[in-house]
Structure 1
Amino acid sequence: MTYKQDNIIIFKDNSEKEIEKFAGIGSYATSNIKGIGGIYKHTYKDFIVREVTKEGEILRIRDISTKSHFSGELDDDFTEFNLVKINKEPFKAFNLIASALKVPISHITYSGLKDRCSISVQKVAVKGNHIEKLNNLKLRDIFINNISPSRKSIKLGSNKGNHFTVIIRNIDNDIDVEKRNLKVFDMLSNNGFLNYYGLQRFGTFRPNSHIVAKHILLNEHENVFNELVLNTYSSESIQSQLVRNKLRQDGDMEWAYANFPNGLNYERMMIHHLKDHEKDFKGSVQKIPSYLIKLLFSSFQSYFFNKMLTLRIKKGISPFEPANGDVIVILDDDKGSLTSIKYIYGGKYDVFLKEAIRLNRAYIVIPLVGYDTKMDEYPLMNKFFEEVLKEEKIDSLIFKCELFRQYEFKGAHRAMVIKLSDAKILEVSKDDIFQDKQKVKIEFSLPKGSYATMVLRELMK
């Protein structure tokens, strides 16, 4: 149960399940199988993310660098490297690298963002020749290897996927972990799991990115400040709650700027502006970096995706079988990516479409609504979209606003269900941290854009 009291959002027991509901995540693909319980990400070492390149190579955390040089004959405009970061927020890592190389952060390109609480490795490119500087770069919890010249930047979403190695801890000893996990792995590999956007999209402890985005899109500048800076969530740290509550009570921007933790850097940007420009909420919103605006708008789209998927299942419509009015998109032969070829289920091609889905050559999709999305082209999901709009008290015109156009949120679609691959139980053993408990070490691969946490919630419940 979640409720609001005096600008405080309170989650029952601050459980992840309650926080997930706040972000629209409300159903399971394996509701008939009991979970194993436990916790993940107790330490960053328990969560390892390795990017899978478009060629299918799983990057290694430890890699041997070979010295490369820019060629005068080739059109080498970029330097490519493997970035290994340890328990580091991705944009903080990119900012540190950009500062060390003395380039704007816009010169750094990557295929996706990796979890903060993890050990991760991914391909990154930076504009220009930075081989020597990168070879000598020394930054805390950031390691760089496999440096080479490249003719091009790295496009967002250009990787094939990610490979995860995860330890789940604090599991009761009387649970047959291997038996339950194998059942879940079997179902998720054959039928698939619900391709929700995970809490990382919304904020793990303050899951309000979509709410901030809504206020930005509606030009409600003071509400943006209130939601981003003042409103508190029971799931965030006590220190954060205290400073937010004090600022809400006395409005002292000077005190707030001096006392808000450095980690709350976006809040501090807005506070700093209001400290010098009283009540200029519009100006404070303009201090939010464009990359964060894009993430906020993405979370707004993601929230509607999650809500539509949950609503579909609550109405008893299977996510694993196409229903009349579903949109089915054919996959690219080479990359396995969604193409622009789509069909509406409920016609003469139904037999072929069902077979294509079975063979992993097509997906049932839900729209990521943008300014160019025509919802009447998604007959079934349009009904759920209208219900979500009504529930959220939002006009559909919000998706047609100028800001969505300015930031190029044209619209797209996303697979409703994704099948797990390469899933294995590596080890079940005594937990070395929690007394009289057991732990399990697992690994699996996911295509780009899918969240490991959505697999873990199916296992743990």
Structure 2
Amino acid sequence: MMPSPYPLEEELGMRYYASDAPGIGGRLRSSPEDFVVEELPLPISDPDGPYLICRLTKKNWELQRAVKEIAKRLGISHRRIAWAGTKDKNAVTTQFISLYDVSPEAVGQVHLADITLEVVGRSQHSLVLGGLAGNRFDITIRDCIAEDLPARVQAATEVASAGVPNYYGLQRFGVVRPVTHVVGESILKGDYEGAVATYVGRSYPRESEVAQQARTHFAKTRDARAALAALPVQMTYERAMLNHLVANPGDYAGALQALPPKLLSLLVSAFQSYLFNSALSSRIEAGLSLTEPEVGDRLLFANGREDIVSARNRQAALLQIRRGRCRIALFIPGSEPIVSHGPMDEILQDLMQKSGIDTGNFERVSRFVSTKFAGALRPISLSTDVEADVVDLSVRLRFTLPPGHYATTVCREYMKADPYMMI
């Protein structure tokens, strides 16, 4: 497997590609229409439920911002709106949201540019993250390398079918500013000032000059009032924290809790995602396979069943993997005690020790964020049958992924390009 040459991917734990074949280069998202996502919902059938289920189609909208604007138009708290999956901003996305105690007539009066809402049913329950069947993607990569382009596409398509490292993609950590895992690590350590300083004060060169200067000044001075005056008005989350600090100087814990609860929990889980990426790269670095199990590996079956590979069942496990009935998985640490079964568990425990974080940190942060971080299994490989078409220097990819898997992880194997070319 070929190592990534890009420092940003190294920083996020995404250190390897599945093959040594040359990439096609190119650029994703030359326009939002080049990245189309359609959510595949679970069945909805309860005409008397209190939750209105709507199909939300948006273009070039960040989901949290779209939800807040919809809530404002409806005159309700954004906490009454829930969703099953977080979709990309620079894209055309279709997904489902649930709205508590909202009438279809009220939804019909919501008018926002590049957003449409269509009532599709009712439910007794709110949608929850991960509560979807999957996502269908239609993606165009433009300005690809001309040399042997069809052959390179074919080689990548075969690799995608066999299996690629199931990394959490760049957008999991922040697109323009990939800092969510750093903020999450600080929250886990109880360093709330450090978390706010990173979220508000760490600047990146792809931001505007005004934003960079305001962030840098806050990082040096902790002057919330000056930063509030200088930061662009569209930075609503930073401004919410700064408003709290102006009213409550030094209360960095309260400033973090001024964020929407879902966003606050995503910051913590981003650090879990970083641990997963890093451990997966360590497995590859050790020369271990994505699809051939080692003694002590964890298995995750399609129906949710789990198992541990032993010397006795190793050959049977390999057969089950080849038949597509299960995948090798890593346990992402949380508040539950980690029982070590093999080398991958030991790698994850070592990563946590180096970070100075243990299960107690996750127990404490669960109370702070009001979200349980118990830990979970995630497959280490991702495979999908891709329908690929080459037209001049553009490549169109169509494929479907299960919940929680990243289309950019597939595109990354085709492109092998600077990750900023995928945002």
- Do these two structures clear the TM 0.5 threshold for a shared fold by scoring above it? yes
Among residues 293, 308, 314, which one is paired with 1:344 in the alignment?
308
- Aligned partner of 2:171 in structure 1 is 200
Residue in 1 aligned with 2:414?
459
Paired residues of 1:44 and 1:87 also in contact (CA < 8 A)? yes
Conservation of the 8 A alpha-carbon contact between 1:215 and 1:224: yes
Q: Which residue of 1 is the match for residue 184 of structure 2?
A: 213
* Inter-partner Cα distance in structure 1 for 2:125 and 2:188: 34
CA distance in 2, matches of 1:192, 1:233: 33
How far the C-alpha of 1:426 sits from its partner, in A, is 3.4
Is the contact between residue 178 and residue 425 of structure 1 (CA under 8 Å) also seen in structure 2? no
Q: Calculate percent identity across the aligned residue pairs.
A: 30
Listed one character per residue, the Cα deviations across residues 81-126 of structure 1 (whole Å, up to 9, x for unaligned) are 2100010000111111122222222221211011011000012221
SS in 1 for 2:139: strand
Is the CA contact 1:427–1:442 (under 8 Å) kept in the aligned structure 2?
no
Correspondent of 2:372 among 403, 408, 422: 408
Asked if the contact 2:197–2:218 (Cα under 8 Å) also holds between the matched residues in 1, the reply is: no
- Match of 2:294? 323
Q: Which residue of 2 aligns with 1:178?
A: 150
How far, CA to CA, are the matches of 2:254 and 2:127 in structure 1? Answer: 33
Task: Give 1:25 deviation, angstroms.
Answer: 0.9
CA contact (8 A) 1:129 1:149 kept: no
Partner of 1:33: 21
Q: Distance in 1 between matches of 2:35 and 2:238?
A: 28
Distance verdict in 2 for CA 1:343–1:147, change over 3 Å: closer
Deviation at 1:137, TM superposition (A): 1.9
Matches within 5 A, 1:216-255: 216-255=187-226
Tell me if 1:384 matches 2:347.
Answer: yes
Kept in 2, the 8 Å contact 1:308–1:381? The answer is: yes
Q: 1:445 matched to which residue of 2?
A: 400
- Once residues 282 and 125 of structure 2 are traced to their aligned partners in structure 1, the CA distance between those partners, rounded to angstroms, is 42
Residues 369 and 399, structure 1, Cα contact 8 Å, conserved in 2: no
Residues 253 and 53 of structure 1: CA distance in aligned 2, closer, same or farther (over 3 Å) = closer
In 2, Cα distance between equivalents of 1:256 and 1:395:
31
Q: Provide the rounded CA distance (Å) in 1 between the counterparts of 2:206 and 2:351.
A: 25
Q: What one-letter code is carried by the residue in structure 2 that aligns with 1:253?
A: A
- The structure that has the greater radius of gyration is 1
Flag the 1:38–1:269 CA change in 2: closer, same or farther, 3 A.
Answer: same
User: Bigger shift: 304-313 or 278-287?
Assistant: 278-287
In structure 2, what is the Cα distance between the partners aligned to 1:330 and 1:87?
36
Q: What corresponds to 1:370 in structure 2?
A: 334
In the other structure, the counterpart of 2:61 is: 88
Q: In the TM superposition, what is the alpha-carbon distance from 1:289 to its structure 2 partner?
A: 2.6
- Which ranges in structure 2 are unaligned for 5 or more consecutive residues? 417-423
Distance 1:255 1:183 in 2: 53
Structure 2 CA distance for partners of 1:289 and 1:145, relative to 1, 3 Å:
closer
CA contact (8 A) 1:84 1:142 kept: yes
Q: 2:79 aligns with which of 88, 97, 106?
A: 106
Unaligned runs of 5+ in 1: 1-14, 58-69, 333-338, 430-437
370 and 215 in structure 1: CA distance in 2 versus 1, 3 angstrom threshold:
same
User: Which SS does the other structure have where 2:37 is aligned?
Assistant: strand
**Do the aligned partners of 2:362 and 2:373 also contact (CA within 8 Å) in 1?**
no
The answer to whether structure 1 residue 133 and structure 2 residue 103 are counterparts is no
Q: Following TM superposition, by how much is the alpha carbon of 1:326 offset from its aligned partner in structure 2, in angstroms? A: 0.6
Residues 253-293 of structure 1: CA distance to partner in whole angstroms, max 9, x if unpaired? 33321220123222112222222333333332332332111
**1:355 alignment partner in structure 2:** 319
Report the alpha carbon displacement of residue 410 of structure 1 after superposing the two structures with TM. 1.1
Deviations 1:368-400 (A, max 9, x none): 211014232x4221221133235x442424544
Q: What is the one-letter code of the residue matched to 1:439? A: S
Give runs of aligned pairs for residues 26-175 of structure 1, distance below 5 A: 26-30=15-19, 32-54=20-42, 75-173=48-146, 175=147
Amino acid in the other structure paired with 2:414: L
Rounded Cα–Cα distance in structure 2 between residues aligned with 1:151 and 1:290: 22
Q: Distance in 1 between matches of 2:206 and 2:339?
A: 35
* Aligned: 1:300 with 2:271: yes
Secondary structure at the counterpart of residue 160 of structure 1: strand
CA contact (8 A) 1:230 1:248 kept: yes
In 1: Cα distance, 2:76 partner to 2:5 partner: 39
Shift of 1:144: 1.4
Counterpart in the other structure of 1:274: 245
Separation in 2, partners of 1:207, 1:362: 32
Q: 1:325 to 1:161 in 2, by over 3 A?
A: same
**What's the RMSD between the two structures over aligned residues?**
2.3
- Displacement of 1:249 in angstroms is 4.4
